Amino acid sequence: MKRKTIVDQFFLRLYIVLPTVYPFYDTGELSLLKEKKFQNWAYWHYAYLLCVVLFGAYVRATGAGAGCGSHWPLCDGQVIPRTFFHERLIEYSHRVSSGLSLFFTCAMYIYSLKIFPKFHLARKMAKYCLIFIIIEALLGGALVLLNHVADNPSLYRGVSISLHLINTFLLMASATGLIFFSTVENSNFSLFRHKYFLLFFFGFVCLLFSSTSGAITALGDTLFPVASVSEAFMKSFDFKHHLWVTVRIYHPFLAIFSSIYIFLSVRKVSQVSQCFKQAICFVYFCLFFQLSLGFLNVFFHAPVVLQILHLFLAHFLWAGYVLVYLNSHLYLSSLSSFSFGKSVVR
C-alpha cells in the first residue's frame, strides 16, 4: 500500500511536467493538484517580489543607485562589468534580481493561462502583475537614465520615486490578488462592485499617500541626515532648507491619520462577519508594529535596517488590507448570490 502511494505521488507530480504520460486519474483530482501547485508558486512569486522591493530600498538607502553609471539596462555599457566595487556590486545584483522577477512574473502569467479558465480572476491578476512589473522596470530604468539616484536631491527625483513606489504597491496588490484568487473556485465577480468600495478606496489612497510621504522622508533622511529629533523638528520649520527637509515632519501625522482610518474601516467590515477574522487580526498586528517602528525610526534617526523593516511591514499591511477587501467582497457576493437563489426558488 505504501509503495502504491509513493508511485501515485510520483505520477501526479510527473503529470505537471508531462501530461501525456498520466492517463489514470480523474480530471477533478488533476485540476485540484495543478491549482494547489499554482498556489504554492504564487506564494513564492509574492515572496520573491517583496525581496526585490526591499533590495531596491537598500540600494536607495546606501546610495548605490549610480553604481552602474547612467547606463540601462547595461551596467557601465556592459552586460557583465569587468570590474566591481561596492556600489556597483549592489546595483548590479539588484538589476539581475529585478530581471529575474520579470521572467518569473511572465512565467506565472503563462502558467495561469494553462491552469484557470478564460474569465477566472487569477488570470486577470497574473496579467496585472505582468503589466505592473514591466512598468516597474521602465520606471527603474528612467531613474537611472535621468540620474535620479545616489545624491541627487532634485524635486523631479521625488516625483520619480513616488511614481515608482505607487506602481510597486499596485504590483504587490496584484500579486496578493493572484494568491487569493488561485484559492477561489469560481472567481468571476466584479472587483469594484463592493458594498464598501468607497470606504476601502479611500483607505487604499490613504496608505499610498502615507507610503509616498514615507519614501520622501526616507530620501530626506538619507540625503540630509540630522543628529537629533529636535534638530529635525527645527529644520522642518526653517524654509531656507531643502524641501525634503521641511516636509519630513508631515509623514508621522499622515501615518497616524491613515492608521486610524484603516483601523476604523476594518473594524466596520468586521461587524459584517467574522469569517475572515485572521486577515483582520493581521491588519491590526501590522498597524501596531508599523507605528512602533515609525517611532523607532524617528528616535534613532532612520538607520538603514529600520527603514527596510518599516517598508517590509508597510507591504504586509497593504497585503492584509487587500485581503480584507477581497474576503469581505467574496463573502458579500456569496450572500447576494444565496439571496438571489432563494428568490428564484420561491
The secondary structure of 308-334 as a DSSP string is: HHHHHHHHHHHHHHHHHHHHHHHHHHH
Task: Please check whether residue 120 is in contact with residue 181, taking contact to mean a CB–CB distance below 8 angstroms.
Answer: yes
* pLDDT at residue 343 is higher than 70: no
* pLDDT at residue 12 is higher than 60: no
Query: Over the Cα atoms of the chain, what is R_g?
Result: 23
* pLDDT at residue 106 is higher than 90: yes
Task: Give residue limits of the domains in the chain.
Answer: 36-332
Please write the tens of the pLDDT for every residue from 264-302: 999 998 877 666 788 899 999 999 999 999 989 888 888
Q: What is the mean pLDDT of residues 189-208?
A: 87
Counting other chains too, the contacts that 266-275 makes at CB distance below 8 Å and 24 or more residues apart are: 266/321, 266/324, 268/196, 268/199, 269/196, 269/199, 269/324, 269/328, 272/328, 272/331, 272/332, 273/328, 273/331, 275/327, 275/331
d(CA 201, CA 265): 10
**Coil/strand/helix, residue 23:** coil
Cis peptide preceding 153, ω within 30 of 0: no
User: Could you tell me which of 15, 21, 20 has the C-alpha nearest to residue 33?
Assistant: 15
Beta-carbon contacts of 140 under 8 Å, excluding residues fewer than 6 positions away, are 56, 72, 98, 164
Q: Output the pLDDT for position 5.
A: 53
d(CA 118, CA 272): 32
Give the global pTM.
Answer: 0.84
Cell of 324: 480584507
Task: Please check whether residue 207 is in contact with residue 172, taking contact to mean a CB–CB distance below 8 angstroms.
Answer: no
* pLDDT at residue 336 is higher than 60: no
Which is higher by pLDDT, 206 or 65?
A: 206
Distances in Å between the alpha carbon of 236 and those of 103, 231, 241, 300? 43, 9, 8, 17
Three-state SS annotation for 291-313: HHHHHHHHHCCCCHHHHHHHHHH
* pLDDT at residue 187 is higher than 70: no
Beta-carbon contacts of 9 under 8 Å, excluding residues fewer than 6 positions away, are none
User: Could you tell me which of 6, 7, 31 has the C-alpha nearest to residue 19?
Assistant: 31
Q: Output the pLDDT for position 35.
A: 79
Task: Please check whether residue 286 is in contact with residue 313, taking contact to mean a CB–CB distance below 8 angstroms.
Answer: yes
Which is higher by pLDDT, 323 or 7?
A: 323
d(CA 276, CA 324): 7
d(CA 168, CA 270): 28
Distance of CA 175 to the CA centre of its chain: 7
* pLDDT at residue 84 is higher than 50: yes
Q: How many CB atoms lie within 10 A of CB 284?
A: 16
